[in-house]
Structure formats: C-alpha cells, structure tokens
Amino acid sequence: MTYDEMLNIPPYSLGKAEKDRLLTARLKELTLLHRARCPEYANILSCIGFDPDAVQSVTDVPMLPVRMFKETALRSVPQEEIVKTMTSSGTTGQAVSRIFLDRVTAANQQKTMVKIVSSFTGSGRMPMIILDCPGVVRDRAMFSARGAGILGFSIFGAKKIYALDDDMKLNTEALREFLAQHSGQRILLFGFTFMIWQHFYKELLRLKEEGICFDLSNGILIHGGGWKKLISEAVSHDAFREKLHDVCGIRAVHDYYGMVEQTGCIYMECECGHLHASIFSDVITRRTADLSPCAVGETGIIQVVSAIPESYPGHSLLTEDEGVILGEDDCPCGRKGKYFKINGRLKNAEIRGCSDTYAAKFQ
Amino acid sequence: MTNLEKYDQVFINAFGITAEQLSGLQYQDIPAWDSVGHMQLIAELEDTFGIMMDTDDIIDFSSYEKGKEILAKPEYQIEL
C-alpha cells in the first residue's frame, strides 16, 4: 500500500492485527529504503546484524536513539532535494536535532496531521487564535519545532490572530475584537502548554479579578510541548483544564504528544484524557534493563514509529520519555489503537519540548 | 481587473516576484514560497476571491497552474 492510500484510511479505524500488518509492511519498506540511501544508517544496521526477514511485527523494526539526530546529519535524499530543515527545541547551549525534509516527506507530514486533527475538530476550518507571539515564525531559514507546530496547525485557521505580542504580553484589544467578529462561531485555539499557562491563563485570571472576562465557551484548544514546568508548579492535567474553564469557559481541551523528529504523527488526547496512536504511527514502551517491550500498564521508555519519513531515517526512534500503555482498541472514546500516557522525561535526559525549553527561562 | 489578473497579483505581492516568473512556478521553487509563504498566499487568495478553501485543497495547491485548477472547482467557481 502506498502512503497516499494509507491516508485514505480513517486514522483510528484499524484494530490491532490489521494495524500491525499495515504498519510493519510500511516500516520494513522504509528501513530498506533508508539502508539503501543513507550510508550512516546502513552502517548502523550492519553493526546490529539487521535481518529484514526477522521483522514480523512493529516491535521488530530496528530503532535509533533520538539523540543521534543531534550528533549526526542523517538524510536519505541528496542535499539539493531538501526543502526544509527542522530543528528540535532545546535550551540555550543544548545540541538540537536537525531533521531534513524533501517535498514528499514535508507534504505527507502536513496531510497526516490534517487527517489526525480533523478527526477531532471536524474538517471545516475555523477562526483561530494562536496563543503565542508572531516572532516565532519570522525566522524562516531555520525552522524551530515551535514555529513548525504553529504553522502546521495554521492550516485549520480561516482567520488567524496571535494573541501574544513579541514580549509575550496578551493583546487584550485584538482578542476582544477578534471574538466580537467571530461571535457564535466555533474557534480553534492553539499553543504550547506552559506559554498558555504563564501568558494566557494567568493574565485572564488577573483580568477576571478586575472584572474583565472573555468568553471562549465555543473554543477548542489544542496544546502540546511538555508538562515539566507545570508539574513542578503542581498543576495537574485536570487542574489545567478546570482552571482554564474557570477563566474563559472553554471545555474542549486536547493535549498532544509529538516530536519534531516525527512531525505529522501527533498523538492527540481524547475526551477521556488518553493520548492515542493513529494508524500512521505507534508507541511501544520498553524496559530499561534490556529494552524488551513492556506489558500494558507497565512503565517504560517510549519508542515511537512513524510511517511518514522518507527523507531521513527517523521512522523508528527510542525517545528519552517515559510512559505507560493504558490499553489497545478499547478506549471508552471509541477510537481504536493504543492509548497511553506520558510520565515525563527519563532522569538525566536533557530538557526538550517547546513548552519545557521555554519554561526553563522561568526558573 | 480580470480574475486572472487578480490571481497573478496575489502571487506577485505575496512573493515579491515578477509576472514572468509565474508560469511553471512550484511550491518550494523560490525561498518566498515556503510553508510560511504558502499560508500567506492562501490567506490572500481567500480574501481576494471571498472564498474559504478546504484543508485538502490548501495542501494540493502545489504550483501556480495547480492553483488555477483548484479555484475552478465547483465549490469555488473562480474561472481564471
């Protein structure tokens, strides 16, 4: 099956056996493609004695540690076919990943993301409030993960505003005017978890105390980028949702998990508070001792696989995050596939994530 | 201005290019038509013609010529 054909399958419609068959075939094909086109990747595979015939399931696909993309420029297409280089978010002084995209991979990222997100929001585009500053997408030569996230989601926005100015101050006048223009319509809000808390929620709370209120009860908020700082401030997922609801009436709030190394394949949080793997990607948890796959309910290191990457060998990665698979095919929300939660970063791992690296400045 | 002139003008303004560069122009051919430029182009086309494009059409809008085909679709009915 080609990737274009895969895109016609509804993102949460396949049960375990069918999804594993589909994804294993695609991941095996990608492994062979990258082995043929990326000499560094071919070396790694030969070091570990990779045997394509031994790949019977998604768990058998060889994985690279995610930090390899910081240390080495890995690509599977000639330099002249690269149209975009994306970088991970990192705090000052940290090495960042560099991910090289050609036309096909960049387009498939966007198409996949649209399939996943629109299965939550509906396919229509909405007025959109970006809870960040416009400066983030201004530097176009090198694309940060934060800019890429905003831009990726912008496709759902019909009319857009940035709610924050470049000093990260809430632009209350612009927000008021925008809400008046689009009153009665469903509104999409997008931003990164910590920035939303620090620069949007806290400001709305202050304004509310002054008697100034904004009504976002028609809104749907999608946010991501990590919880590290909020966990340190003892703000739980539930508290985040409840307090946002208290200040602006918003009810539909969806976190997502994703990383620049596998842009497009994001894991959206459902109405039950679970992160979900779509048919385009999967999550495997692995034991620290021997990297064998964990059972459902057992905490382990997160491995992510994605059916998208053709221009760089990032289709199977061992992350530095820790999490738990909560179940498969039986979430009460009705979506098939694995659902899981992320506990946070492994001990001693670097800080990353658009929200967490930004929050590191607020120590 | 005809629709075609308006269409051309949106490209010329959005990307800072000349009319001679339009024919055959593809997404990512010039630095200005990157993913950021693409969303600006779409926003200006939508304003100019008073339409709202589907997400699939925004993704498929891969060249100057392809854009004409998309705008001619029954949902937009912009003949260029």
User: Domain B3-71 class?
Assistant: mainly alpha
- Local mean pLDDT, 10-residue blocks, chain A (363 residues): 95 98 98 98 96 96 95 95 86 83 94 95 92 85 77 92 95 96 96 96 96 95 91 90 96 95 96 97 96 97 98 97 97 98 84 77 67
Q: What is the DSSP letter of A346?
A: P
Which phi and psi angles does A209 have, rounded to 5°? -65, -25
Q: Residues of A170-204 as b/e, b for ≥16 C-beta within 10 angstroms? A: beeeebeebbeebeeeebbbbbbbbbbbbbbbebb
Yes or no: say if A68 and A92 are a contact pair by the CB < 8 Å rule. Answer: no
Average pLDDT over residues B32-51: 93
A-B contacts (CB, under 8 Å): 40
What pLDDT is recorded for position A353? Answer: 78
User: What total number of domains does chain A contain?
Assistant: 1
For residue A332, count other CB atoms closer than 10 A to its CB.
11
Nearest to A84 among B35, B55, B62 (CB): B35
What pLDDT is recorded for position A121? Answer: 93
What pLDDT is recorded for position A141? Answer: 58
What pLDDT is recorded for position A133? Answer: 92
- Residues in A closer than 8 angstroms to B27, CB to CB, are 103
Kindly determine whether residue B58 and residue A155, on different chains, have CB atoms separated by under 8 Å. Answer: yes
Q: How close does chain B come to A114, measured CA to CA in Å?
A: 7
Kindly determine whether residue A123 and residue B54, on different chains, have CB atoms separated by under 8 Å. Answer: yes
The CATH number for A82's domain is 3.40.50.12780
- Residues in B closer than 8 angstroms to A81, CB to CB, are none
Q: How close does chain A come to B36, measured CA to CA in Å?
A: 7
Chain A contact for B39 (CB, 8 A cutoff): yes
What sign does the dihedral A209-A214-A219-A225 (CA atoms) show? negative
**A327: number of CA atoms within 13 Å, CB side?**
11
In Å, the largest CA–CA distance within chain B is 32
Range of the domain at A242: 3-362
For residue A314, count other CB atoms closer than 10 A to its CB.
30
Kindly determine whether residue B52 and residue A125, on different chains, have CB atoms separated by under 8 Å. Answer: yes
What residue in A sits closest to B61 (Cα-Cα)? A107
Kindly determine whether residue B31 and residue A118, on different chains, have CB atoms separated by under 8 Å. Answer: no
What does A37-104 look like in DSSP terms, one character per residue?
H-HHHHHHHHHTT--GGG--SGGGS--EETTHHHHS---SS-GGG--EEEE--B-TT----EEEE-HH
Kindly determine whether residue A103 and residue B27, on different chains, have CB atoms separated by under 8 Å. Answer: yes
**B49, pLDDT greater than 70:** yes
Kindly determine whether residue B59 and residue A110, on different chains, have CB atoms separated by under 8 Å. Answer: yes
Name the pairing type of β-strands A299-306 and A281-286: antiparallel
Q: How close does chain B come to A223, measured CA to CA in Å?
A: 20
What pLDDT is recorded for position A231? Answer: 85
> Which residue carries 């976190």 as its tokens?
A255
pTM (2 decimals)?
A: 0.91
A interface mutation test: which of B35, B41, B47 has the most A CBs within 10 A?
Answer: B35
What pLDDT is recorded for position A122? Answer: 87
Nearest to B28 among A103, A111, A156 (CB): A103
Q: How close does chain A come to B72, measured CA to CA in Å?
A: 20
Average pLDDT over residues B56-63: 93
